[in-house]
Structure 1
Amino acid sequence: MREIREYNMNGTIILGVDNGYGNVKTAHRVFPTGIIKCDSEPVLSKEYIEYDGAYYIIGEGHKGFVADKQEDDDTYILTLAAIAKELEERGLTEARIHLAVGLPLKWVQAQRDSFKQYLTRERYVSLKYRKVNYLIEIVDCTVMPQGYAAVAENLKDFKGMNLLVDIGNGTMNVMYLNNGRPIESKSWTEKLGVNQCFIRIQNRIMDRTGTKLPDEIINDFLRYGDADVSESYLSAMKQVAEQYVQELFQKLRDYEYNEDLMKLYVMGGGARMVEMFGKYNTDRTTFNHDICSNAKGYEYFCYMMLRQKN
């Protein structure tokens, strides 16, 4: 059994949830950002929660990109599912929770308060996951900057000038670190996540062949750089991926990235794409492929903030 690193403050568990546009992540669980509401108990799926008189199949379907995660109840329901899955991992069915979550770098200031209110709308929550009852008390919520929180514990390792790039499904977050110190005036959020590559692959194949490529095949390709399809399809997907990564690097150069003057640290679901299809200096580029890094970082960062306050 893997070790669970738990941050606890006065009997309250600090629990990180990374509400990504492609996947929802906790420190130890990952599942697709998909949700289907049902009026009756699902027959085939076991991945559902029962909450407030309805059933929600988790991880099915696909939620499109939205800049405001509070525009419907989906993110709230997915957060409850994430809490239940993480508590299951920890062998708990009841817990006091301080939620530790994040938003893209340049959206935190504008959306922090409303996102906190959105996620703490109910203090006491009762739900059922895998036919097990969970009783959760959400005592508070801290909203942090995505990307930066993931490296907060290791800032001392970032010597000199570093460019931190967090490529998610919906957005790419970019931040400069000078000897581990973030430069707030040099941080940006771009809608250039992996989903852009997904859409372009789908369109390229449709334009060339008239065939709608199944989502599962594209997702496999984005994850592994390969897929069990004919060479003509695979070649077309690789061309799109290479063009997408080239665009990523061009955007970084627009923000004054120079590999001779700084190191590059790439994380998030898109890090694999950059590693497979990008052209970069291997000696000055680091890839972090742990897609739970933000969720883990939220817990650590939140714990340190609360400890400092206390």
Structure 2
Amino acid sequence: MNNRILLGLDNGNKCIKTSEGYISEAGFIKSNNEPISTSNLLIYEGKFYSIGSSRLSVQMDKTVNQDAFILSLPAIADVINKVGVEGDVDVILGVGLPIVNYGTLKKKFREYFLRRDIKFNFNKKDYAINIVDCRTYPQGYSALITVFNSYRNLLCNVIDIGGYTIDFFKVENGIIDVSSCYSLPNGIITLIANIQQELLKTNIRLTETQIQEIITGKEPVLFEADIKEVIKVMSEEYVENLLAKIQEYGFEFRNPTIFTGGGSMTLKTYIEESSKIKYVDFLDQFANAKGYKILLEQELRR
């Protein structure tokens, strides 16, 4: 009998994350020949993939190509190593979709991952796996599951700021208000792109990582104060405009508001400083993936 592993996998547009703490940029460079650097190198079906070296373009329906599957393999390798199992491994995945797409893509996304006899090499180690089952769960709500007992008797807002989308909805007494589920196509990637365009006007070229580090208060390099000020002002405007837009959908920020997603963590300081928010809680960027695994374990026990 093969070893069995359960894994929560968050296929974000910006990063791939797992319930076990793995994180990687959602991208790769594909080559027919072995590249000079073998760090984070995946070999699958005779092709070489340098994982995390270049973010791929946003794909709302991830079943249209093999990119999401390719990016899942290093994440699965990571958990196999952490658990320490050898030989063939049966993998059961918990994955997620934005709430607004959940009903239409749930079945398709589940079937996308179901495969057997998958053989690959990652970081010079061979793996043989079967993805024997996959269950799909709603993003945002899955993150809330990780702190469910704290909010089970309250009316609260959940805002998931991801790479490309911002999903938000209300939960009352632990149940999603399905009439309050919305999604906006202007996640953290759009803010970063707008900052890059603004800086290009003065012939300044910063990477996504550099901008993200400045937003979070880190100092990647010694940039002039005016560059940091541009990023600060644009980040403040982004947060204020986002909160105002969410209020237009009938959300009351006197109720507890739970922020999740990598974008929320990046913008945490600006969200906390906003006068619009009264009570705020932040779940880390792994919360969705952890929630997928919790829901997966509960479902398999039934």
State TM-score, norm by structure 1. Answer: 0.89
**Hey, what's the Cα distance between the residues in 1 that align with 2:204 and 2:131?**
47
**Hey, what's the Cα distance between the residues in 2 that align with 1:240 and 1:18?**
28
Q: Which AA in structure 1 matches 2:77?
A: A
Where 1:123 maps in the other structure, the secondary structure is strand
Match of 1:214 in 2: 207
Q: Which AA in structure 1 matches 2:199?
A: I
Match of 2:138 in 1: 145
C-alpha contact (below 8 Å) 1:167/1:266 kept by paired residues: yes
Q: Which AA in structure 2 matches 1:284?
A: Y
C-alpha contact (below 8 Å) 1:155/1:181 kept by paired residues: no
Corresponding residue to 2:282 among 272, 287, 303: 287
Corresponding residue to 2:11 among 1, 6, 19: 19
Q: Where does structure 2 lack aligned partners over 5 or more consecutive residues?
A: none
Change (3 A) 1:270 1:225: farther
Corresponding residue to 1:156 among 141, 149, 152: 149
Match of 1:5 in 2: none
Q: Which 4+ runs in 1 deviate beyond 3 A?
A: 222-228, 280-283
Q: Which AA in structure 2 matches 1:166?
A: D
Spell out, residue by residue over 1:202-231, the C-alpha distance to the aligned partner (whole angstroms, 9 max, x if none).
111112x03322333213224446553100
Corresponding residue to 1:69 among 37, 59, 62: 62
C-alpha contact (below 8 Å) 1:225/1:276 kept by paired residues: no
Alignment coverage as a number of residue pairs: 295
Corresponding residue to 2:80 among 76, 84, 87: 87
Corresponding residue to 2:52 among 54, 59, 67: 59
Spell out, residue by residue over 1:148-171, the C-alpha distance to the aligned partner (whole angstroms, 9 max, x if none).
112224323113210011111111
Match of 1:239 in 2: 233
Q: Alignment RMSD, CA only?
A: 1.9
Q: How much does 1:201 deviate?
A: 0.4
Spell out, residue by residue over 1:2-61, the C-alpha distance to the aligned partner (whole angstroms, 9 max, x if none).
xxxxxxxx9632211100111100122111111111112222231011111111110011
Where 1:59 maps in the other structure, the secondary structure is strand
**Hey, what's the Cα distance between the residues in 2 that align with 1:62 and 1:230?**
27
Where 2:191 maps in the other structure, the secondary structure is helix
Q: Where does structure 1 lack aligned partners over 5 or more consecutive residues?
A: 1-9
Match of 1:3 in 2: none
**Hey, what's the Cα distance between the residues in 1 that align with 2:246 and 2:109?**
29
Corresponding residue to 2:176 among 182, 186, 205: 182
**Hey, what's the Cα distance between the residues in 2 that align with 1:220 and 1:45?**
26
**Hey, what's the Cα distance between the residues in 1 that align with 2:102 and 2:38?**
35
Q: How much does 1:79 deviate?
A: 1.0
Which stretch of the first structure deviates more once superposed, 214-223 or 108-117? 214-223
C-alpha contact (below 8 Å) 1:245/1:273 kept by paired residues: no
Share of identical aligned residues, percent? 27
Q: Which AA in structure 1 matches 2:14?
A: G
**Hey, what's the Cα distance between the residues in 2 that align with 1:182 and 1:225?**
36
Corresponding residue to 1:113 among 103, 107, 110: 107
Match of 2:37 in 1: 44
**Hey, what's the Cα distance between the residues in 1 that align with 2:263 and 2:256?**
18
**Hey, what's the Cα distance between the residues in 1 that align with 2:79 and 2:174?**
30
C-alpha contact (below 8 Å) 1:171/1:192 kept by paired residues: yes
1:204 partnered with 2:189 = no
Which stretch of the first structure deviates more once superposed, 182-191 or 150-159? 150-159
C-alpha contact (below 8 Å) 2:162/2:187 kept by paired residues: yes
C-alpha contact (below 8 Å) 2:146/2:287 kept by paired residues: no
Match of 1:173 in 2: 167
Q: Which AA in structure 1 matches 2:279?
A: R
**Hey, what's the Cα distance between the residues in 1 that align with 2:218 and 2:276?**
20
**Hey, what's the Cα distance between the residues in 2 that align with 1:157 and 1:230?**
43
